Homo-oligomer: A and B are copies of this chain.
Amino acid sequence: MPLSTRESIIALAENHIQQNGYNAFSYYDIAVQLGIKNAAVHYHFPKKKDLLKGVLDKSEQHFQNMVELSKHNDINYMDKLNRFLKIYDDNLNRQNRVCLMGALATDLFTLPDHLRPALNQLVEAMKNWLTQILEEARNAGEFKFDGVASDRAALICSSMAGALQLARVLGNKEYEVIKSQLIKDLIK
């Protein structure tokens, strides 16, 4: 089914943020893409921070959808990990978007204060889910790694975020070699 205007605005804003950052797109950019006017976008999201909140909420929802899908369909832990990593793959394949955490981390100190908890919560949720998968997979003998699982989860999150950025600067091959090393390090 087609997206509502509100949903379309969020999708476009998300794209702009992950393409160029929060401070490099305008209401006008989105209005042109939708064939409407500046003021119509403000009707749906009065302030730019409202729009950012919409993007964060959508991203949280998207992540939770991934979690549910994984619960019902993935038969082993590598499936679950791959479903998580697919979030980054999809960003790479959509014109080299960086991940939302990576894009907003740089802009963080320019954002309204009360939006930082929303980003924190999203990233924490992702890291916690990954931690649990890693821990269970190690207990099941499917993954192997040293140290506590939450540290390994942090390493994977930061590496994947950095991989999308390095891919922009040095080429997409960097992304693949980083990702494959992270996986190899879990199964060797």
* A binding-site residues for B, Cβ under 8 Å: 19-21, 23-24, 98, 101-110, 116, 119-120, 123-124, 127, 146-147, 150-152, 154-155, 157-166, 168-170, 174, 177-178, 181-182, 184-185, 188
Contact = CB atoms under 8 A, between A and B. Distances in A.
A106 B170 CA distance: 13
Q: How many copies does the complex hold?
A: 2
A43 to B, nearest CB: 26
Contact of A158 (B23, B119, B162): B162
B161 A181 contact: no
Given A98-B106, A105-B166, 17 more contacts: A24-B107, A101-B166, A103-B106, A105-B164, A106-B106, A106-B107, A108-B168, A120-B169, A123-B169, A147-B181, A147-B184, A150-B177, A151-B178, A154-B163, A155-B159, A155-B178, A161-B162
Given A106-B103, A188-B146, A182 B170 contact: no
